Chain A
């Protein structure tokens, strides 16, 4: 029933606008719809509003106008709706943002216990499964500062997955990593994509886009300049601006 109402779209973004207090307009009448299990890669020059888009999708930033509906729940002023959406949407940040005073295990377990109210045993099993999945179970008792950047980012992914979200947002998650660590993180993300996770990924890793993305959105100045499959972007981008941008990142 719900599916029909939504037309299979898990994220519906309708004409959202976001202007920061300093007058910068990050999003300008931005609209898009994302299907279940779709992997959308968002590219664009810095300041184009990519990160702001992700941050609006889980309520980290308030939108000025327009609407966002995720899994049938409108992201509005209703506190219950907001917290419901936060549970359904996992987010991974460029700067990891792990909790430095907690071990890897505690980082991943915390929200399961507090938000999902899982039992100790249950959360422990989930945590160990997730850590195994991101290939880092042997570091469960380490602190984030003892891990490499790539390892930290994999823990951050496990932490976001711990709530069993329906959507995962990735905000330039490989930009702060040394080149040799980028792959280990991308591999985890590819696995997730193949398992059918709905993902919105801000990245310039076109290799990743080519392998798993269903759609690429090219943004500039808070608007969609061009969107299509990754093949479309590689073979015949329409807009001159897109061509220029691609020639710089490829």
Chain B
């Protein structure tokens, strides 16, 4: 029954699209796409520009994910700390980042900071993305931490655990399990936001696509292919997290 519904929906969508492009008078040339992903000559395979771009996107995303996790966690702990300075710092960072566009932050880091600190294009991109996503991640971590019952803190305290040990063994393991789903959302946002780095001439997936379109005018084919590749990354990410959740048994 569900399968029939699914097929019907897909059929309806395809029909809509076919009608739409017909009206547009667009000449679809899907057969030209494969060479941009993978090309072969003399029995050897060569990665096309889109695959090169994918690798750049993956590298940027992976490094930013790791850094965003750290920024987020540290900021959350700062916001919950007893130190006034730490709280102010964390709050300032959060509000600055959350209330300005990522594109502006990227430009600021690339055009203003990177010449001062002698950062590469790639480093600027990773820094901008991780600072941006880290701000959002910090709120996720914070909500996870404060959602734990006060009794957990009190029990750990009464056992003589230090604040560090308390976070390390009691609070964070439980909090992170709780916030895994929203954290995954944030990671998916990061993957998609990484497309913005094409604006500082990093040849990621999006930039490669634009370059191909400029040469070939295969506008829709390329953009749809790129969208499909992003979809592939984000879906794999969700699957990985899902299995992780099952393995560590997200309960509480």
Contact = CB atoms under 8 A, between A and B. Distances in A.
B174 A101 contact: yes
A114 B156 CA distance: 11
A193 to B, nearest CB: 20
A100 interface: yes
**Majority secondary structure of chain B interface residues (helix, strand, loop or mixed):** helix
Given A97-B152, A99-B152, A145-B251, A58 B173 contact: no
A99 B158 contact: no
Contacts of B160: 83, 86-87, 111, 115, 163
A166 interface: no
Given A101-B173, A101-B174, A60 B158 contact: yes
Nearest to B169: A110
Interface string A77-99: 00000010011011101011111
Interface in B152-170: 152, 154-162, 165, 169-170
A97 B166 CA distance: 14
Nearest to A85: B160
A201 to B, nearest CB: 16
Contact of A110 (B152, B159, B177, B251): B159
B159 A115 contact: yes
A162 B177 CA distance: 27
B29 interface: no
A86 B169 CA distance: 18
A98 to B, nearest CB: 7
Given A101-B173, A145-B251, A91 B161 contact: no
Contacts of A58: 158
**Could you say which of B154, B155, B161, B174 has the most chain A C-beta atoms within 10 Å of its C-beta?**
B155
B151 to A, nearest CB: 4
Given A95-B151, A114-B165, A114-B169, A101 B158 contact: no
B216 interface: no
A110 B169 CA distance: 9
Contacts of B174: 99-101
Contact of B161 (A98, A101, A115): A115
A111 B155 CA distance: 11
B252 interface: yes
A58 B154 CA distance: 10
B243 interface: no
Interface string B123-166: 00000000000000000000000000101101111111110010
Nearest to A99: B170
**Could you say which of B154, B156, B160 has the most chain A C-beta atoms within 10 Å of its C-beta?**
B160
Nearest to A95: B151
A166 B162 CA distance: 20
Nearest to A94: B151
A91 B159 CA distance: 8
A90 B158 contact: yes
Contacts of A43: none
Given A110-B169, A114-B161, A114-B169, A97 B252 contact: no
